[in-house]
């Protein structure tokens, strides 16, 4: 067996990694405290109500985490425009045929497990990117419904920006239902997300798991060169097109 | 509203009825407080009722149970029922007017002709729209027709109760008669929604007194409810709120916690999503309200409260998944299916990608042996 040369690529910039872990922490806190809000456990205690406040603290944690979640989410949207090529919004929204072709590749190879094949991508693969697009939508839904429910309790202008949300649904009933159901989307997503990280690490051995800590991924030299050549080709194609346009004009 | 020389003012009518000025001032003060006015507001109310003649009112009853009217005539101050409603009944209200049949219809049309753009249209009940509105007809005409006709010349429209504001029980799924709240049928008129099943009598009277005092509709929220009465959740004004924050909940209606008066959140109280004045104004002359009597709020002033059951459970049924389904059950199943799928995928990976994985292991071992 020939050993392969692996090339180190800096994929996840520090702000992306920071965002990722803060986001993960927020989601864990929000899911746990949110579930407790929806279904408080029956703690029996002898103390008078004036000496106890655990449910209030639980709600406070939920609201505090939700503010951090919101700002972190807004920051990530911003970073989608200024970050490196692996952080840009084009990783998440299909803009060309190649995106769809890669998605199909990934479905064949990684979901339906084509025999002994691997799909090598440096940043997000196309399917993952596209699914993250829906995850961002879910973030938006949680922020809208959550702050929509919270707005009436607050005098601050920021949550009050969301005061129109309950009106869309006629009241808080449906908002709560949506907010609660979307929590399950996060839980299911997290299970799959963690599994797939392990899967890629196991099958490809390229530092998938540690990439979100250090920021580096490793890719086979050949694959890297191939990617570079493709990139060059695309650039030249673009140049040629621009030149043609110029000549026409 | 302009004072009219040939019609008596509210105050004059009150005095004729035998109320003293003291009674009158008490009424004005009480309602200024209900409406959330500042201290000088009582004088404004008094001034308005002294100089304004009665606002003509047409009060329509469509798909409803008359609980709104019942609530209204039981509001705490006798002047409300005695004068405001008495006078209202002079114009038109099916339930309480003395006239009947053609006479009643004539009275309604007279009001509409005499006071175009001046009368207030109060609507109790929703309007069925299926089969050309045959499910609710009065005097041979459908409610839809009557509503459009009376609304055309109204200065403002008040929707009494959940029926008029969001359809209430008759609009619950599957809504066989097409029961429709009035704001979906009438456009271009100011509509004040006063939801509740029924709304609190004092709230209803407060809305009318506001109209009379200031000659315009009260400040409304985004859904169209008067902010003075519907800006707070029952939960935020509930005297049991401290138990909620302390995490002390009634687990079932017959437990020790219920006797201690703990929070009813876990047995389905809808206070946290219901905007109403029950916790402040209360019912029956401020005697009590459902939560004070040990029963959770059912959210009667909220849209679709019938479809968001069951009333005695915190998590409501999840639409489209049949009864006894809630978000947690569905989510739990989804998570279980996902875990099973992952297990299958993991086994599949080891079978189908054996060569790749073995390659990685071999490569690693090779490197290790090269060193030793």
Domain residue limits, chain B: 53-230, 234-293, 328-371
Q: Which domains does chain A have, with CATH numbers?
A: 7-220 (1.20.950.20)
Is A1–B366 a contact, with Cβ atoms under 8 angstroms apart? yes
Please report the ipTM that was assigned to this predicted complex: 0.82
Side by side, the strands of the sheet bearing B120-124 are: B92-93, B57-61, B120-124, B156-160, B191-194
CATH architecture classification, B234-293: Irregular (4.10)
Is A181–B236 a contact, with Cβ atoms under 8 angstroms apart? no
- For residues B97 and A218, what is the distance between their CA atoms, to the nearest angstrom? 86
Whose CA is closest to B76, among B205, B209, B218?
A: B205
Count of other CB atoms within 10 angstroms of residue A240: 10
pLDDT value of position A2: 56
pLDDT value of position B158: 94
Count of other CB atoms within 10 angstroms of residue A84: 14
pLDDT value of position A105: 87
pLDDT value of position B4: 46
- For residues A216 and A211, what is the distance between their CA atoms, to the nearest angstrom? 5
The tens-digit pLDDT sequence of chain A (249 residues) is 456 788 898 999 999 999 999 999 999 999 999 999 998 988 766 777 888 889 999 999 999 999 999 999 999 999 999 988 888 888 898 888 888 888 888 888 888 888 878 888 888 888 999 999 999 999 999 999 999 999 888 889 999 899 888 888 878 888 898 999 999 999 999 999 999 999 999 988 888 899 999 999 998 888 888 888 888 888 888 888 888 888 887
Whose CA is closest to B223, among B189, B202, B195?
A: B195
> pTM above the 0.95 mark?
no
**CATH topology match: B53-230 vs B234-293:** no
A window 214-243, beta carbon within 8 A of B: none
The tens-digit pLDDT sequence of chain B (372 residues) is 444 456 788 888 888 888 899 988 988 998 888 888 888 889 999 998 888 887 888 888 999 998 998 888 887 776 776 666 665 555 677 777 777 788 888 888 888 898 888 888 999 999 999 999 999 998 889 999 999 999 999 999 999 999 999 999 999 989 999 999 999 999 999 999 999 999 998 898 889 888 888 888 999 988 899 998 998 899 999 999 999 999 899 999 999 889 989 999 999 999 999 999 999 989 888 889 999 999 999 999 998 889 887 889 887 777 777 777 788 888 889 999 999 999 999 998 888 888 888 888 888 898 888 887
SS3 label, residue A178: helix
Whose CA is closest to B243, among A61, A62, A172, A40?
A: A40
For residue A40, which residues of chain B lie inside 8 Å, CB to CB?
247, 249, 265-266
Task: Please tell us whether the domain made up of B53-230 is placed in CATH 3.40.50.700.
Answer: yes
- For residues B286 and B163, what is the distance between their CA atoms, to the nearest angstrom? 24
Whole-number Cα distances in Å, B322 to B316, B317, B319, B327, B329: 12, 8, 7, 12, 12
Nearest to B222 among A59, A164, A188 (CB): A164
For residues B242 and A51, the answer to whether their CB atoms sit within 8 Å is: no
A window 47-76, beta carbon within 8 A of B: 47, 49-56, 58-59
Q: How many CB pairs under 8 A join A and B?
A: 153
pLDDT value of position B1: 42
Choose, out of A4, A49, A203, the residue to mutate when testing the contact with B (most B CBs < 10 Å): A49
DSSP letter (8 states) at residue A7: E
pLDDT value of position B183: 93
pLDDT value of position B197: 93
For residues B264 and B272, the answer to whether their CB atoms sit within 8 Å is: no
């Amino acid at each position: 067996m020939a050993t392969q040369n692996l090339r180190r690529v800096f994929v996840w910039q520090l702000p992306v990694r920071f965002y990722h872990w803060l986001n993960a922490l927020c989601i864990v806190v929000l899911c746990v405290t949110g579930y407790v809000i929806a279904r408080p456990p029956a703690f029996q205690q002898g103390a008078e109500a004036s000496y106890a406040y655990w449910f209030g603290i639980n709600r406070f944690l939920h609201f505090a985490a939700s503010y951090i979640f919101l700002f972190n989410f807004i920051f990530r949207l911003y970073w989608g425009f200024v970050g490196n090529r692996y952080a840009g919004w084009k990783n998440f929204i299909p803009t060309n045929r190649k995106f769809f072709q890669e998605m199909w590749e990934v479905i064949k190879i990684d979901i339906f497990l084509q025999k002994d094949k691997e799909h090598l991508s440096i940043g997000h693969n196309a399917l993952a990117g596209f699914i993250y697009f829906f995850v961002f939508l879910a973030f938006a839904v949680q922020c809208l419904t959550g702050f929509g429910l919270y707005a009436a309790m607050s005098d601050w202008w920021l949550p009050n920006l969301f005061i129109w949300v309950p009106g869309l649904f006629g009241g808080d009933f449906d908002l709560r239902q949506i907010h609660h159901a979307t929590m399950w989307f996060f839980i299911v997503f997290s299970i799959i997300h963690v599994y797939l990280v392990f899967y890629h690490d196991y099958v490809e051995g390229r530092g998938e798991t540690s990439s979100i800590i250090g920021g580096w991924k490793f890719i086979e030299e050949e694959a890297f060169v191939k990617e570079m050549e493709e990139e060059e080709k695309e650039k030249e194609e673009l140049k040629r097109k621009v030149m043609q346009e110029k000549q026409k004009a | 509203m302009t004072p009219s020389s040939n019609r008596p003012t509210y105050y004059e009518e009150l005095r004729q009825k035998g109320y003293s000025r003291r009674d009158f001032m008490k009424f004005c003060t009480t309602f200024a407080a209900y409406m959330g006015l500042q201290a000088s507001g009582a004088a404004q109310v008094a001034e308005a009722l002294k100089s304004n003649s009665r606002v003509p009112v047409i009060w329509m009853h469509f798909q409803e149970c008359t609980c709104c009217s019942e609530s209204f005539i039981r509001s705490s101050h006798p002047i409300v029922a005695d004068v405001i409603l008495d006078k209202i009944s002079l114009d038109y209200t099916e339930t309480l007017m003395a006239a009947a049949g053609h006479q009643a219809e004539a009275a309604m049309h007279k009001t509409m002709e005499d006071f175009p753009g001046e009368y207030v249209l109060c609507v109790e009940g929703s309007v069925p729209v299926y089969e050309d509105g045959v499910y609710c007809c009065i005097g041979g005409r459908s409610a839809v027709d009557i509503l459009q006709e009376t609304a055309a010349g109204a200065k403002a429209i008040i929707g009494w109760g959940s029926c008029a504001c969001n359809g209430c029980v008759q609009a619950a799924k599957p809504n066989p008669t097409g029961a429709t709240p009035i704001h979906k049928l009438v456009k271009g008129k100011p509509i004040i929604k006063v939801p509740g099943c029924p709304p609190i009598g004092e709230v209803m009277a407060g809305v009318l007194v506001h109209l009379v005092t200031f000659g315009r509709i009260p400040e409304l929220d985004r859904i169209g409810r008067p902010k003075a009465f519907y800006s707070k959740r029952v939960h935020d004004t509930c005297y049991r709120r401290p138990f909620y924050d302390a995490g002390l909940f009634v687990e079932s209606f017959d437990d020790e916690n219920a006797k201690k008066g703990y929070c009813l959140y876990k047995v389905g109280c809808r206070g946290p999503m219901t905007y109403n004045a029950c916790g402040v104004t209360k019912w029956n002359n401020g005697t009590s309200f459902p939560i004070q009597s040990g029963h959770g709020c059912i959210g009667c002033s909220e849209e679709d409260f019938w479809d968001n059951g069951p009333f005695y459970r915190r998590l409501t049924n999840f639409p489209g998944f049949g009864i006894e389904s809630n978000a947690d059950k569905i989510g739990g199943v989804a998570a279980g299916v996902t875990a099973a799928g992952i297990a299958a995928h993991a086994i599949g990976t080891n079978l189908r990608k054996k060569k790749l994985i073995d390659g990685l292991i071999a490569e690693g071992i090779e490197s290790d042996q090269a060193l030793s």
